[in-house]
Structure 1
Amino acid sequence: MTEVTQAPDVRTYPLGKSRPPLAVADLPEPEEVFGVRRLGLPQLFKYALGPSLIALGISIGSGEWLLGPQAVGQFGFVGVGWVILISAVLQTFYNVESSRYVMATGEAPVVGWGRVPPGYLLWVPVAVFLVIFAFIAGGWAASAGQGLYALVHGEVPPAGAEEPRLWAIALLALVFLMTAAARRISRTLELANWVMVGTILLALLVITLLVVPGSLWWEGIRGFVTPAAPPEGITATQLGGLAGFTALASGLNWYVMGHYRDKGYGMGYRTGYISGLRGDRRELLANGVTFPDDAANAGRWKRWYRLLLTDMWGIFFVGAMLGMLLPTILMAQAVELSGETPTTATVPTFVAAALEAEYGRGMFYLMLVVGVLILFSTQLGIFEGMVRVTTDAAHATSPRLRRLLEGDPRRFYYPFMLLLLGIIAVVLHLALPVSLVQWSANMSNLGALIFPFMLIYLNRRLPRAARPRWWHHVLLVINVIFFGFFFVNFIADFIGDPLVTF
Structure 2
Amino acid sequence: MAGIDPRTQQSEFPLGVSRPPLDVADLPQPEEVFKVSKLGPLQVIQFVIGPSLIALGISIGSGEWLLGPQAVGSFGFIGIGWVITVSAVLQTLYNIEIARYVLATGEVPIVGFGRVPPGWKLWVPLSLIVFYFAFIFGGWAAGAGQGLFALFAGRVHRPDELEYVRLLGIGLLLVVFLITALARKVSRALELANWVIVGTLLLVLIVVTIAIVPGNVWWDGVAGLVTPAAPPEGITATQLGALAGFTALASGLNWYAMSHYRDKGYGMGHRVGFISGMRGERKEIKPVGVTFLDTPENTALWKRWYRLLRLDMWGVFFAGAMIGMLLPTILMSHLVATSGVAPTAANVPTYTAEQLGQQYGPGLFYLMLLVGVLILFSTQLGIFEALVRNFTDAVHATSPKLRARIEGDPRRFYYPFMLLLLVVIAFAIHLALPVELVQISANMSNLGALMFPFALMYLNSRLPKAARPRAWHYVILVLNVLFFGFFFVNFVYEFLTGTALVRF
Q: Same fold (TM over 0.5)?
A: yes
Partner of 1:192: 193
Partner of 1:328: 329
Q: Which amino acid aligns with 1:488?
A: V
Between the aligned partners of 1:7 and 1:157, the Cα distance in structure 2 is 60
Q: Which amino acid aligns with 1:337?
A: T
Partner of 2:53: 53
Using the size of structure 1 for normalisation, the TM-score is: 0.98
Mapped contact 2:88–2:322 kept (Cα < 8 A): yes
Q: Which amino acid aligns with 2:55?
A: A
Between the aligned partners of 2:35 and 2:10, the Cα distance in structure 1 is 27
Between the aligned partners of 1:229 and 1:243, the Cα distance in structure 2 is 15
Give aligned pairs, total: 498
In the alignment, is residue 389 of structure 1 matched against residue 390 of structure 2?
yes
In the alignment, is residue 97 of structure 1 matched against residue 97 of structure 2?
yes
Between the aligned partners of 1:337 and 1:501, the Cα distance in structure 2 is 28
Q: Secondary structure at the match of 2:279?
A: coil
Using the size of structure 2 for normalisation, the TM-score is: 0.98
Q: Which amino acid aligns with 1:338?
A: S
Q: Secondary structure at the match of 1:60?
A: helix
Please give the per-residue CA displacement for 1:327-361, whole angstroms capped at 9, x wherever unaligned.
00011011012111001001011111111111100
Between the aligned partners of 1:345 and 1:202, the Cα distance in structure 2 is 27
Between the aligned partners of 2:356 and 2:242, the Cα distance in structure 1 is 26
Partner of 1:475: 476
Give matches, 1:24-423, under 5 Å: 24-161=24-161, 162-423=163-424
Partner of 2:21: 21
Moved over 6 A (4+): none
Mapped contact 1:184–1:279 kept (Cα < 8 A): yes
Q: Which amino acid aligns with 1:222?
A: A
CA shift for structure 1 position 238? 1.2
Q: Secondary structure at the match of 1:23?
A: strand
Between the aligned partners of 2:292 and 2:184, the Cα distance in structure 1 is 28
Between the aligned partners of 1:387 and 1:337, the Cα distance in structure 2 is 43
Between the aligned partners of 2:20 and 2:271, the Cα distance in structure 1 is 16
Q: Which amino acid aligns with 1:331?
A: M
Q: Secondary structure at the match of 1:297?
A: helix
Mapped contact 1:274–1:284 kept (Cα < 8 A): yes
Mapped contact 1:337–1:354 kept (Cα < 8 A): no
Which is further off, 232-241 or 19-28?
232-241
Between the aligned partners of 1:14 and 1:44, the Cα distance in structure 2 is 33
CA shift for structure 1 position 10? 5.9
Give matches, 1:483-498, under 5 Å: 483-496=484-497, 497-498=499-500
Please give the per-residue CA displacement for 1:66-124, whole angstroms capped at 9, x wherever unaligned.
00000001000001101000000000000000000000000000000000000000000
Q: Which amino acid aligns with 2:417?
A: F
CA shift for structure 1 position 7? 4.0
Between the aligned partners of 1:465 and 1:111, the Cα distance in structure 2 is 22
Between the aligned partners of 2:445 and 2:159, the Cα distance in structure 1 is 28
Q: Secondary structure at the match of 1:61?
A: helix
Q: Secondary structure at the match of 2:287?
A: coil
Please give the per-residue CA displacement for 1:264-285, whole angstroms capped at 9, x wherever unaligned.
0000000000101111132100
Q: Secondary structure at the match of 2:159?
A: coil
Give matches, 1:391-470, under 5 Å: 391-470=392-471
Between the aligned partners of 1:281 and 1:227, the Cα distance in structure 2 is 53
CA shift for structure 1 position 405? 0.9
Which is further off, 157-166 or 300-309?
157-166
Please give the per-residue CA displacement for 1:395-440, whole angstroms capped at 9, x wherever unaligned.
0011111011110111111111111100110110110000000000
**Cα 1:6–1:440, aligned 2, differ >3 Å: closer, same or farther?**
farther
Q: Runs of 5+ in structure 1 lacking a partner?
A: none
Between the aligned partners of 2:10 and 2:95, the Cα distance in structure 1 is 32
Between the aligned partners of 1:76 and 1:186, the Cα distance in structure 2 is 38
Q: Which amino acid aligns with 1:101?
A: Y
Mapped contact 1:64–1:327 kept (Cα < 8 A): yes
Between the aligned partners of 2:233 and 2:442, the Cα distance in structure 1 is 21
Between the aligned partners of 1:414 and 1:495, the Cα distance in structure 2 is 38
Q: Which amino acid aligns with 2:352?
A: V
The alignment's C-alpha RMSD in Å is: 1.0
CA shift for structure 1 position 235? 1.9
**Cα 1:40–1:343, aligned 2, differ >3 Å: closer, same or farther?**
same
Between the aligned partners of 1:466 and 1:41, the Cα distance in structure 2 is 25
Q: Secondary structure at the match of 2:23?
A: strand
CA shift for structure 1 position 6? 6.4
Mapped contact 1:6–1:270 kept (Cα < 8 A): no
Mapped contact 1:6–1:271 kept (Cα < 8 A): no
Q: Which amino acid aligns with 2:141?
A: A
Q: Runs of 5+ in structure 2 lacking a partner?
A: none
Between the aligned partners of 1:165 and 1:7, the Cα distance in structure 2 is 52
Mapped contact 2:18–2:120 kept (Cα < 8 A): yes
- Percent identity over the alignment is 68
In the alignment, is residue 499 of structure 1 matched against residue 494 of structure 2?
no
**Cα 1:6–1:188, aligned 2, differ >3 Å: closer, same or farther?**
farther
Which is further off, 94-103 or 128-137?
128-137
Q: Which amino acid aligns with 1:265?
A: Y
Between the aligned partners of 2:2 and 2:170, the Cα distance in structure 1 is 41
Mapped contact 1:108–1:257 kept (Cα < 8 A): yes
Mapped contact 2:251–2:448 kept (Cα < 8 A): yes
Mapped contact 2:236–2:502 kept (Cα < 8 A): no
Q: Secondary structure at the match of 1:111?
A: helix
Q: Which amino acid aligns with 1:493?
A: E
CA shift for structure 1 position 236? 2.5
Between the aligned partners of 2:222 and 2:237, the Cα distance in structure 1 is 24
CA shift for structure 1 position 230? 1.2
Mapped contact 1:236–1:493 kept (Cα < 8 A): no
CA shift for structure 1 position 160? 4.4
Mapped contact 1:25–1:292 kept (Cα < 8 A): yes
Q: Which amino acid aligns with 2:403?
A: R
CA shift for structure 1 position 227? 0.4
Q: Which amino acid aligns with 2:46?
A: K
